[in-house]
Structure 1
Amino acid sequence: MEFSPNDNNNLPLTKFESMLKTNNILFFDSEEFENIIHHYLTQGKVALAKKAIKLGLEQHPTSTNLKLFQVEVLVFENKLNQADKILNSLHDLEPQNEEIYIQKANILSKKDDHEKAINVLKKSLELTEDVSDIYSLIGMEYLFLDKFEDAKSYFMKCLEADLEDYSALYNMMYCFDFLEQTEEAIEYLNTYLNNNPYCEVAWHQLGKQYYDLQDYKKALAAFDFAIISDDTFIGAYIEKGKVLEKLKKYQEAIENYSITLKLDDPTSFALLRIGSCYEKLGNQELAVQYYYKTVHEDPLLDKGWIAITKFYTKQRNFQKSLYYINKAINIDAENVTYWKLYAKINQRLNFLEEAERGFKKALELGNYEIDTWLTRGDILLQLGETEAAVYNFLQASEFYPENAEIEYRLAGLYYTLNETEKGSFHLKNGLHFNPEYAFILKELFPKVYNKQQVKSLLKTD
């Protein structure tokens, strides 16, 4: 029983807490101790729960339920061997007690022995009338083993026993999604909704499946039913907004996102989507206002900073773009996307040293896209950093060993450095990989292109 502050049920709790303050030992029956412990565990007050368990076992040393609470706390504290010993002694006394099997399975699960945990839980099924929780626990163990079909099967059993176990419903949908069984998921959800037609969670999940299939009309209908079932269901309004965006109904999308702002604290996602919708509607002023609100609400959301930076880039207001991407980098200097945007904006402003720094940082953070290597190398070339450009393209060639664009650049650089043999080697590679990219030499290295040796090789090809 959970204690309520407005009724007499909390009298044992008040008496217990008073006892702790005064050190006077008072008597409680075992059921009162159980309720007190349950209350503290529900509240996350483990230290107080432990005190209640200790005092409870001093007054009721043979109480199985109090010992099971003791086991629960020991498992929480990862004292698994100690918990196991208590369970073994309890099993000798009460071999038909289902809770003993559940805690035993919990310990086995903590030890990553999920197969044994499943076997123990299946044994407990023979002892309990409330099978739904056990089915759900077995499903979770199968998830730990990445056996998604088995997990899905047990979450289905759980829902057959208890239609309103939404945790099992979410877990089952996770299995469907992982197995990429969209059609099967839709079939199951429609059957489920025949038996539970006002389940907003099921309608919401059905809508997401149709959304994945790009069947936006059916997705919209499903989210509408979710909202009819629960008109405060924020997730349904968000998903409906996303569908309306796909249908280019931006004003209606804004209306749905805006409802979520009234139902609860504003979410950065909703603010960002409203900004994006206004931008698509051509309302630049409101768009940027909502982008500002997004980064104010959640400064760590990279999509907010990216949106506001790209907004000003489209406006060709590169100084403001640079200002906001610098703010973003100050918050999270390990974000690759920030550095690439920083590099591209500086490049547009002809701040080549800063642009090169941005691309270099992106590479250091693991962004090995071909355009990052090529653009950085070309900027180094513009800066007159020939040796650094060579090193950049040699590194790039390790990731893209048969890329003609890299080879022509290396050829041009080596010829520029009068390392003719290496230049010839890379030019031949470039011609072999893709002769159509030979124009790179003419554009980036006109002096090299006009060398007689180079022209001979180009004609030979």
Structure 2
Amino acid sequence: MALEANERPNKPIAKFESMLKTDDVYFFDAEDFEDIIHHYLNHGKIALAKKAIKIGLRQHPDSIALKLLDVEVLVFENNLDRAEDLLDKLQVLDSSNEEIYIQRANIYSKKDNHEAAVKLLKKALNLSEESYDIHSLLGMEYLFMDDFKLAKECFMRCVDFDDQDYSSLYNVIYCFDFLEDFEGAIVYLNDYLDRNPYCEVAWHQLGKQYYSKHMFKEALTAFDFAIISDDSFIGAYFEKAKVLEKLGKYSEAIENYEITIQIEDPTSHAYLRIGKCYERLGNDEMAKYYYYQTVHEDPLLDKGWLAITDFYFLKGDLDKALHYINKALNIDGENPTYWKKSANINAALENYDQADFSFKQAVDLGNYELDTWLNWANVAKENHDYLSGIHILAQGREFYPESAEILYKTAGLHLLANDKINARIGLIDALNKNSEKLHLFEEEFPSYFKTEWTQNIISNNKRASR
């Protein structure tokens, strides 16, 4: 049985949840159901939202607003055909309801037909008195279409409507960044801050813009204002520390990174940066301590393992460097950067077979950097496997067809393989590409460089190029 009004909970949501726990039936206004459903949707409680819609439509079967919320859930759950059928019926009843066009636009967006979604949202704009949400949806559709200029304009309208809409503010700056209009972003943020001088989000974004333009003093000032506006803003302390690092103020950078750890649970990235700062200050013990903390906090952070490895590599302790890169590979054997580092360490230790294997793994996993091909070919040369070195460089040339380094090294390997015909072709090709880098051939293959055979090729090339 239904309770009397004075026995029922006052708030619709509490009242609704009380009803669900009993067999009692309460009556709600359609507007109350809308509030209840919106509450559950905003909190991601879809099952409860669906219950509220079902009960609401029983009590108010003609409510278009509740039916549109039913459509919203259907779209969210990808029941697009059912949603379209319901929208067709609703459009007959109320063809001037902007929410119908908005939900149709959501369906088209789900189907990746963003142009059609934009057209429908523009229709909704013409019907709506409150266009704020529609401009936000339009902005997202333009982002999907990679039209960052129009997306930026839509999100700017949202910020104009609500200065506290930080999501739209972030999107505005994202568009500026993608358009590489850093000056425009700085002007926009300064104008915004004239109206909202204590907005830590805007100061933080302004600091990042200055940082991208290497205007480090201005960036520092912006991050300081972000911290003044909110002294618990971790992002501002972290970015300020990065600027201080760039300015060589490592002790101050450490202080700011440590503040981020004090405010919230420590992060591997903060530990890593602190370790880097201590290393630059020459405090090896503290650097090691924080590098170890980095990988303890996040064993999958490749930069942490690489920092420890590089630390020992630079100190000349190759065995320890190899030990730590192998630990990293045991954790993540699919990381091409780890394999490349392993290859370089093994090459320095003259473990050429292992270095060759590691370079192959790095390439198989997608590392195609120029120095990977060159260093791998060096390993083949040290193994006196000149034909493999030539093959490696041929693969590298597919990625770097204009590389004089590859061409000069290839010519030298052909000479080592006693193949003067291809060596001549390769050397002439290298000279034609870039004769100024001939010193590379001279430095790596000095005995061949001095021969009359090589000097004749160089002389003939000079005469031909005049």
- Is 2:353 the counterpart of 1:353? yes
**Gaps in structure 2 of 5+ consecutive residues:** 1-8, 462-466
* Contact map agreement 2:135 2:158 (CA 8 A) in 1: yes
| In structure 1, C-alpha distance between the alignment counterparts of 2:302 and 2:138, rounded to whole Å | 38
- Quote the residue 2:15 is aligned against: 12
- The 3-state SS of whatever aligns with 2:21 is helix
Q: CA deviation at 1:172?
A: 0.6
| In structure 2, C-alpha distance between the alignment counterparts of 1:132 and 1:89, rounded to whole Å | 27
Would the alpha carbon gap of residues 123 and 316 (structure 1) be closer, same or farther in structure 2, given more than 3 Å must change? same
TM-score (norm 1): 0.88
- The one-letter code of the counterpart of 2:192 is Y
Trace 1:144-155 onto structure 2 (pairs within 5 A).
144-155=144-155
Would the alpha carbon gap of residues 309 and 31 (structure 1) be closer, same or farther in structure 2, given more than 3 Å must change? same
| In structure 2, C-alpha distance between the alignment counterparts of 1:96 and 1:403, rounded to whole Å | 64
| In structure 2, C-alpha distance between the alignment counterparts of 1:213 and 1:366, rounded to whole Å | 31
Q: CA deviation at 1:148?
A: 1.6
* Contact map agreement 1:409 1:441 (CA 8 A) in 2: no
| In structure 1, C-alpha distance between the alignment counterparts of 2:365 and 2:171, rounded to whole Å | 35
| In structure 1, C-alpha distance between the alignment counterparts of 2:160 and 2:408, rounded to whole Å | 66
Q: CA deviation at 1:199?
A: 1.0
TM-score (norm 2): 0.87
- The one-letter code of the counterpart of 1:11 is A
- Quote the residue 1:94 is aligned against: 94
Would the alpha carbon gap of residues 7 and 222 (structure 1) be closer, same or farther in structure 2, given more than 3 Å must change? farther
| In structure 2, C-alpha distance between the alignment counterparts of 1:228 and 1:312, rounded to whole Å | 40
* Contact map agreement 2:295 2:304 (CA 8 A) in 1: yes
- The 3-state SS of whatever aligns with 1:74 is helix
Would the alpha carbon gap of residues 354 and 120 (structure 1) be closer, same or farther in structure 2, given more than 3 Å must change? same
* Contact map agreement 2:12 2:36 (CA 8 A) in 1: no
- Is 2:258 the counterpart of 1:258? yes
- Quote the residue 1:26 is aligned against: 25
- Quote the residue 2:41 is aligned against: 41
| In structure 2, C-alpha distance between the alignment counterparts of 1:76 and 1:439, rounded to whole Å | 61
| In structure 2, C-alpha distance between the alignment counterparts of 1:99 and 1:202, rounded to whole Å | 32
Would the alpha carbon gap of residues 181 and 322 (structure 1) be closer, same or farther in structure 2, given more than 3 Å must change? same
Would the alpha carbon gap of residues 439 and 150 (structure 1) be closer, same or farther in structure 2, given more than 3 Å must change? closer
- Quote the residue 2:343 is aligned against: 343
- The one-letter code of the counterpart of 1:365 is L
| In structure 2, C-alpha distance between the alignment counterparts of 1:340 and 1:150, rounded to whole Å | 43
| In structure 1, C-alpha distance between the alignment counterparts of 2:439 and 2:289, rounded to whole Å | 48
| In structure 1, C-alpha distance between the alignment counterparts of 2:371 and 2:406, rounded to whole Å | 10
Taking only the aligned residue pairs, the percentage that are identical comes to 54
| In structure 2, C-alpha distance between the alignment counterparts of 1:182 and 1:438, rounded to whole Å | 41
- Quote the residue 1:50 is aligned against: 50
1:216-265 CA distance string (max 9 Å, x none): 22211111111111111111111111111112111111111111112212
Q: CA deviation at 1:417?
A: 4.4
Q: CA deviation at 1:401?
A: 4.4
| In structure 1, C-alpha distance between the alignment counterparts of 2:443 and 2:168, rounded to whole Å | 64
1:397-449 CA distance string (max 9 Å, x none): 44444655544544454455454543444344445555663774785585x77
| In structure 2, C-alpha distance between the alignment counterparts of 1:226 and 1:404, rounded to whole Å | 49
1:76-132 CA distance string (max 9 Å, x none): 111223212222322332344333332232223223333333333333334444332
| In structure 1, C-alpha distance between the alignment counterparts of 2:167 and 2:321, rounded to whole Å | 44
| In structure 1, C-alpha distance between the alignment counterparts of 2:412 and 2:182, rounded to whole Å | 52
| In structure 1, C-alpha distance between the alignment counterparts of 2:284 and 2:323, rounded to whole Å | 18
- Quote the residue 1:160 is aligned against: 160
- Quote the residue 1:3 is aligned against: none
RMSD, matched Cα: 2.8
Q: CA deviation at 1:342?
A: 0.9
Trace 1:109-258 onto structure 2 (pairs within 5 A).
109-258=109-258
Trace 1:310-389 onto structure 2 (pairs within 5 A).
310-389=310-389
| In structure 1, C-alpha distance between the alignment counterparts of 2:370 and 2:319, rounded to whole Å | 27
- The 3-state SS of whatever aligns with 1:248 is coil
Would the alpha carbon gap of residues 215 and 28 (structure 1) be closer, same or farther in structure 2, given more than 3 Å must change? same
Q: CA deviation at 1:200?
A: 1.0
Q: CA deviation at 1:168?
A: 0.8
Larger displacement relative to structure 2 (162-171 or 246-255)? 246-255
- Quote the residue 2:438 is aligned against: 437
Would the alpha carbon gap of residues 12 and 405 (structure 1) be closer, same or farther in structure 2, given more than 3 Å must change? same
1:262-307 CA distance string (max 9 Å, x none): 2212122222111111111121111111111111222222211111
* Contact map agreement 1:12 1:36 (CA 8 A) in 2: no
| In structure 2, C-alpha distance between the alignment counterparts of 1:159 and 1:353, rounded to whole Å | 60
Would the alpha carbon gap of residues 97 and 384 (structure 1) be closer, same or farther in structure 2, given more than 3 Å must change? same
* Contact map agreement 1:412 1:423 (CA 8 A) in 2: yes
Q: CA deviation at 1:186?
A: 1.5
Trace 1:245-324 onto structure 2 (pairs within 5 A).
245-324=245-324
* Contact map agreement 2:12 2:32 (CA 8 A) in 1: no
- Is 2:111 the counterpart of 1:108? no
1:126-163 CA distance string (max 9 Å, x none): 44443322222222222222222222112111111111
Would the alpha carbon gap of residues 442 and 220 (structure 1) be closer, same or farther in structure 2, given more than 3 Å must change? closer
Tell me how many residue pairs correspond in the alignment.
451
- The one-letter code of the counterpart of 2:20 is E
Would the alpha carbon gap of residues 355 and 128 (structure 1) be closer, same or farther in structure 2, given more than 3 Å must change? same
- The 3-state SS of whatever aligns with 1:366 is coil
Q: CA deviation at 1:72?
A: 1.0
Q: CA deviation at 1:368?
A: 2.7
1:8-38 CA distance string (max 9 Å, x none): 554324324314xxxx462442444434433
| In structure 2, C-alpha distance between the alignment counterparts of 1:286 and 1:359, rounded to whole Å | 32
* Contact map agreement 2:441 2:449 (CA 8 A) in 1: no
